[in-house]
């Protein structure tokens, strides 16, 4: 039953999102609704999905499926998230010429873009609470790493993989090495 629920959940996610980051709020909602993962698990899921090569939605489905029901859960979630993509891609390929230059299609895209932005902002707020606010207050190390990463990205135009490695290195130092040295 869990496998069918995983398949249907990721099928719904695949049909109602537009890939990438826009899937995260839907994944968060499904995982919490079924009590398959905690907020900390979801935060880890997104971090791993971002660092792993490949499409983010597929990586999230893989990780969530494995966490929920092992390898069979992984297969169910991946099949669920891929079914809409394959179906819609095949349909779009068949109908592409018909809708090329259509005013209706342009209108649909004008509606979809703000919705995606709203979903991304929701993810940012949700993950920021999980990442930067702890029981003791603000996590200044995490805020510092985020601020430096932002400056490196925007001002110095560092490539994202370098920033991920840089942030991971500081995370290891600040959360792993320094606490051990202090004891």
pLDDT tens readout for residues 44-94? 888 888 787 778 788 888 888 998 999 999 999 999 999 987 887 888 777
User: pLDDT tens digits for 150-170?
Assistant: 999 999 999 999 999 999 999
Are residues 5 and 57 part of one domain?
A: yes
Is 149 within the bounds of a domain?
Answer: yes
Residues 24, 63 within the same domain: yes
Q: Based on the number of CB atoms within 10 Å of its own CB, is 158 exposed (0-12), middle (13-18) or buried (19 or more)?
A: middle
Q: How many domains does the chain have?
A: 2
The answer to whether position 123 is within a domain reads no
Tokens 């942030």 found at: 167
Residue in the structure block whose two tokens are 């010429």: 97
* Domain of 163, in residue numbers: 133-183
| Two structure tokens written together for 105 | 């299609």
Helix H or strand E encompassing 163: helix 160-172
- What's the confidence (pLDDT) of residue 97? 64
**Residue 125 within a domain:** no
- Indicate whether 21 and 93 sit together in one domain: yes
State whether 70 and 1 are in the same domain.
Answer: yes
Instruction: Number of helices (H) and strands (E) in the chain: give both, helices first.
Output: 8, 2
pLDDT at 150: 96
């Amino acid at each position: 039953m869990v496998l069918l629920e995983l398949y249907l959940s990721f099928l719904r996610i695949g049909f109602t999102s537009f890939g990438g980051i826009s899937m995260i709020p839907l994944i968060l909602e499904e995982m919490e609704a079924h009590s398959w993962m905690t907020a900390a698990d979801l935060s880890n899921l997104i971090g791993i999905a971002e660092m792993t090569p490949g499409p983010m939605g597929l990586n999230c489905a893989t990780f969530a499926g494995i966490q929920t029901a092992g390898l069979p859960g992984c297969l169910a979630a991946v099949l669920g998230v891929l079914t809409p993509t394959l179906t819609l891609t095949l349909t779009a390929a068949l109908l592409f010429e018909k809708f090329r230059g259509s005013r209706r299609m342009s209108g649909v895209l004008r509606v979809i873009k703000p919705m995606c932005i709203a979903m991304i902002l929701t993810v940012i707020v949700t993950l920021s609470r999980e990442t930067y606010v702890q029981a003791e207050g603000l996590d200044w190390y995490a805020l510092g790493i985020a601020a430096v990463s932002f400056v490196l990205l925007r001002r110095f135009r560092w490539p994202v993989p370098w920033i991920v490695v840089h942030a991971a290195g500081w995370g290891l130092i600040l959360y792993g090495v320094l606490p051990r040295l202090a004891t």
